[in-house]
Every structure is written in C-alpha cells, then in structure tokens.
Chain A
C-alpha cells in the first residue's frame, strides 16, 4: 500500500488529505470534508493535468510579447516540455486571440494558442 498526502484546492479550507493507493488504484481518500475533495484527490493522484500559460516574442507589434496558453489542460509532467516547445518561438504581428502559435505542442495533441490581440504597427 502506498499513500500520498495532498492539499485540497477546492476552497480556502485546504483540507489535508491522504490517498491510499494499491497498484495505481485509489483504495481510499481520507481527510476531506466534502465530495469535491474526494474528486480532486482521485484525479490528482491518477492523472493530474494543468493549463500552461506563458508568453512568446512578437515582431512588428505594439508590444514585444504576446501571451499564450495551452488550448486544453495537459498532463502535469509535460509542463516543462511545453515550455521547451515555445522557448525559441517568435511570431509576427498581427496576432488575434485563439491564433495557433504551436500546433500539437510537445506531442501532447494540444495546441498553444494566443490569449491577446496584438495589432501590427
């Protein structure tokens, strides 16, 4: 039996939870106050995901950087791969919200898209 300690992010209570696992399966969740804690704990120990946000250089625009995000959440362990995939990316203005900046970033199947309109000068 393997156990993991987590802090719930559902609300400011921040319940300290313990998840018991066996062969990658959740056996029990304890320490939570409500159902949301249970749901969060099960997802967090089996397949945690995150939305990654960053910014990349833009040429010929009104400001030097355009903010970007992964269009969906990606596996948590891929965060740094996502960052590497945009490290040397430069785009040309104009840029519109939703424009694909990098397609299928780090082979996650998820695109990196712009989150800001940048007009060309």
Chain B
C-alpha cells in the first residue's frame, strides 16, 4: 500500500488551493485524487466571467481562474491522479480508490483534506408531479453539455429556480439560439446575484416569476410542456393561477448540496443546516487529521472565498503532519452559536489557543434583512455590532474574531452570532 502525508479528495478550486498551500508549508508528500478527466472541477464549465475579483483583482472566466491554480500545482510538482474515484475512507485514514490504470487500490494518509464540492438538488428531491420524460436536466448538467461536450439540450426552455446557475444558463441557452420562456422561483426573492438578473434575464427580455413553481409536467417520451402556478406565502400552489407553457426542456436550479458520502463513511460529525461536516477553527472535522474546505463544507457564493478557506485547510493539514499527527494542545472548546437569523457558522466551535490572530467566521442569513446589525457576543458581552444595509440568503456573510480579544476574556463559555434590528 502506498502512503502519503496529505491526500486531498477532489481537484477543484478547493482541492487545488489546499494542495498548493500545504506544499508551500513544507509538506512534500501530497496527492490529489480527482474523478474527472481534468483538474479544475466545476470551474471548467463556468465559462462566464466574474471570477477572481477578490483574489486577482481582475475579472476572469471560470477556466482562467482554475488555470491559475492548476499552474501552481504543476509548478509545485504536486502529484495528482485523474479519472480516479474514491470509494471509501476509514477513520484511520486508509483510502480505497479506483481507476482504469491502477484498478482498485489503497492509500494510507497521515492527513486528509475533504474537497469534494457539492451537487445539485435533483428532480426527485423536489417532488414535482408528472411523468419522467427526457428533457429535464439540472442547470449544471445542461451547462456541462453546452460548454464542454458541445450539445444543446433543447430549443424551448423553462427554468425552475433562480439561483445563479439557472440565471447563467438562461443567458447561455439564449445565446446558443434557444428560446427561454420563463424563469420561475418558488421564493418571493431570487437566490441569484442582481448582476445576473440584469445581465442574464433583463438583457434578453426573459421574465422572472417570483413565488411561482412547476406543478405539472407533460409528455411521456419527451417533455412537451409544463404548468406553472403562483404559490402562497407557505409555498403552496394557489388553485386557479395555473398557466401552461410548451417547452422541450426544463432546467432545475434549485439549490446545491455538499457531497459528503465519503465524509460519512469516515464517520465525521455532520451539521444538518449546511449538510457539511462540523469543523473547528482549524477546519478540522470531528476526526483528527481530517480537514474540510470549499463547497463540501458549506456552499459558497464566490470561489475567491473557497480558495482562501482551502488555503487555510491546507496550511492546517501541513501543521498537523509536521507536528507528528497533532495540532498541539487544546484549550477549552468554545461553541459558536448561530441564532436570530443566522442559520449556521463555519467554524462551529473553536479552541482559542489554536486560533489564527484573526479568525474568519462565515455564515448565511435565513431571510432578507435591511438596515440590520451583525452582532457577536462573548458570553453576554457584545464585541461586534456592524451595520449592514442589506443581507440576503444568497450571499455569504463573515465576521472576524480577534484572538487577543478572546484570550483576554475571562471565563469564556460561548460565542454567539446573531442579526439585530436597528
């Protein structure tokens, strides 16, 4: 059985950044396992621009952003295996994987970085009634077909869900000659960026119907049309509001779910809100030496934050390996509580002595908040009270906790992050 100091599961933006940063910290024995035919992950199919404004101060397309990190991995001579599927990982970090050249094989790792990303919520998870004809795709599948494989899924399109992938695909299908008839969104607000609503829908006269959903699917062999209806404030269809649309294609852009089958097989504790592992300040899961970063941990809005988070995970994995399989002494574990509009936090707990000088805590809010404050408390004492003109569920928020402020606080029991009205 071969062995490596650090094995990184996934060669997308998170895996690439984690690998590069671990190598720069002085760990030489690193292996990336990637199931696709190329490195770069989902960025390869995100051919639109708008990536990298934070990291590189310029507006790149997805493949260009990925290439910057692929180049780093190549320059640092980090090993990787493509076309390789990881089947299982044990709690003592033995990895079972397979590919066509090596067959089934095992690798022993000292540390593991989970960077498997996320996948789209499928039709089966949405409970849309009707037959199961051809022509119904997740928006990301259609994106891959059009941008990488070179196939058009159809000509007359309805899109359910106004997440960014759905909006981007409305424009993409239109540019390739399809007629996008409508984008329907169950919620009373869009989950996508304003920029995408303007440049992907308004530019092409594509209507966005908020508080609407698909209530029927027509066609047995091939999709022939759908029925759209308005929904009430509980998301239930309102009888009498049904409208018929003919279409040969329905794209679903209804949310992303971290892909954690392997994390579960290791036995790491999971956070039900994010569907990702619970991690501490070091982005370490409940299994020591197993770290998580990127969309497998929680779904991000911007890839720049994925790269930043993954670099931290890579650094911490390197520190763990270099110290002989430990992150050092643990001070008391302090939970971070997410309440009053804050849905979750990453990390969910921290050991003050292991914190960076400035610890970034990321989270999402549960509704649209205008002119409210993000507040953080140490026990009952408020230490952060920052005004935000607007916060929306589609955008990730963050606060920074200063180590000196926490070490100087006597009797720290817990940290609370909440939204407070003005």
Contact = CB atoms under 8 A, between A and B. Distances in A.
Interface string B129-169: 00000000000000000111110000000000000000000
B48 A53 contact: yes
Nearest to B199: A50
A7 B198 contact: yes
Q: 7 closest Cβ contacts across the A-B interface?
A: A67-B47, A116-B63, A9-B195, A14-B194, A115-B61, A64-B150, A65-B150
Contact of A76 (B64, B149, B203): B203
Contacts, number: 85
Interface string B371-405: 00000000000000000011110110000000000
Contact of A63 (B48, B59, B146, B148): B148
A85 interface: no
Interface string B193-204: 111011100110
A55 interface: yes
A115 B38 CA distance: 15
Interface residues of A, number: 30
Contact of A65 (B61, B149, B394): B149
A118 to B, nearest CB: 10
A13 B389 contact: yes
Interface string A62-103: 111101110000001001100100000000000001000000
Interface in B16-45: 37-38, 44
Interface in B180-202: 193-195, 197-199, 202
A115 B64 contact: yes
A69 B175 contact: no
Contact of B203 (A33, A50, A62): A50
B202 A65 contact: no
B407 interface: no
Given A12-B390, A65-B149, 6 more contacts: A52-B175, A55-B47, A64-B149, A65-B148, A67-B62, A116-B44
8 contacts: A9-B194, A12-B392, A53-B47, A53-B61, A64-B149, A67-B62, A79-B203, A115-B60
B3 interface: no
A117 B66 CA distance: 11
B275 interface: no
A50 B195 CA distance: 12
B389 A116 contact: no
B327 to A, nearest CB: 37
Nearest to A66: B63
B67 A69 contact: no
Nearest to A67: B47
A12 B175 contact: no
A103 B19 CA distance: 38
B305 to A, nearest CB: 16
A70 B176 CA distance: 16
Contacts of A12: 193-194, 390-392, 394-395
A54 interface: yes
Contacts of B49: 51, 53, 69
B197 A7 contact: yes
A54 B150 contact: no
